[in-house]
Each structure stands twice: as structure tokens, then as C-alpha cells.
Amino acid sequence: MHLAPETRPPLPPFTRESATQKVRLAEDGWNSRDPQRVSLVYTVGSQWRNRAEFPVGREQIVAFLTRKWAKELDYRLIKELWAFDSNRIAVRFAYEWHDDTGLWYRSYGNENWQFDANGLMELRYASINDLPIQESERKFFWPLGRRPDDHPSLSDLGL
């Protein structure tokens, strides 16, 4: 029996519409905070640079995300398309979280993504900065999980 290769539509080459859809699907996945689920949108040998860490492959991605979400509590993320071309997408993002002492942060960053022909991400380069904020400065207030469709975007929030 021959198994069809994994696919994750939309597939490259991207249009503005399909790139925007891909970004929202990525945001939804990360807002699930489910490392196993999130890892399945990356190629088996996917290569990352996330801050100063360099996970390679799904097993290391799962371990990385498990550590991340054990530290970054009540994590809520918004991603926004910045640019796209053929099989690449650039996004900007912000997410809010607190640590185990209750201190809140807003983390800002940019990601560059490259996809294989099946729509799986093979390269992910992320640059991220953390800004300590007061709880009263938070802007992301939906229930944990997927951001509601009517919630403001980063641009709408002035971020």
C-alpha cells in the first residue's frame, strides 16, 4: 500500500489570499498550545531558528514547544502577513503571556517561513523580543484557544 505524502493546504505558490489563510492556520495551531498538533505542519526534518535555539525535526520541535508553553502561561498569539512569494511567507506577530510569578510580557517578532510542495514548513526563522508589561496593559483577552474572527488584528491594535 502506498501512502500519499502529507499535505497541508493551502499549497505554494501562494497568492495573497492563500498566504493570509496559511498565516491564520499557523496562528490557530499555535494558540492550541498542543506541541504534537503544531509539529505536524512542519516537515519531518524541518529546521528552525527560534531566538538562540535551533531545533531540527518534529521530535525536537515538540520538545521545544513543550518547554515553551510550560514557561509562557496563558499564551495568546496574533500573527499578520507581512510579505509572500512563491513558497515563502514572512509574518510579524505578537503574543502575551505570563510567567509562574505572575509577571506579564508581550513578545514581538518576525518569522520567515519556507514551504515544500506539500505545504509543510521546512524552514522557520524567528526573531523575538520580550517586553515586560503590566497586566493592565494587556490587549489579548479571548478565551484560551483560537482567536475569535472579530478580535482586532495587530494593525487594528496599533501593534
For the stretch 64-117, pLDDT in tens is 999 999 999 999 999 999 999 999 999 999 999 999 999 999 999 999 999 999
What is the SS3 assignment for 27? Answer: helix
Which DSSP category does 53 fall into?
Answer: B
Kindly state the cell numbers that stand for 17.
Answer: 489570499
Q: What is the pLDDT of residue 106?
A: 98
* pTM score of the predicted model: 0.95
Cα 109 → chain centroid: 10
Beta-bridge mates of residue 106: 96, 131
**Average pLDDT in the 17-29 region?**
98
H or E stretch at 21: helix 16-32
Strand-pair category, 73-85 with 104-115: unpaired
Strand ordering across the sheet containing 88-98:
42-50, 121-133, 104-115, 88-98, 73-85
Q: Is 137 exposed, middle or buried (0-12, 13-18, 19+ CB in 10 A)?
A: exposed
Q: What is the pLDDT of residue 1?
A: 52
Q: What is the pLDDT of residue 157?
A: 97
Q: What is the pLDDT of residue 2?
A: 53
Report whether 64 contacts 126 (CB < 8 A): no
pLDDT at 30 over 90: yes
pLDDT at 138 over 80: yes
Domains plus CATH for the chain?
Answer: 16-92+109-128 (3.10.450.50)
Q: What is the pLDDT of residue 3?
A: 53
Strand-pair category, 121-133 with 42-50: parallel
132 C-beta neighbours (distance < 10 Å), count: 10
Q: What integer best gives the mean pLDDT of the chain? A: 96
What percent of the chain is predicted at pLDDT more than 90?
A: 97
Q: What is the pLDDT of residue 5?
A: 74
- Between CA 45 and CA 60 the distance in angstroms is 10
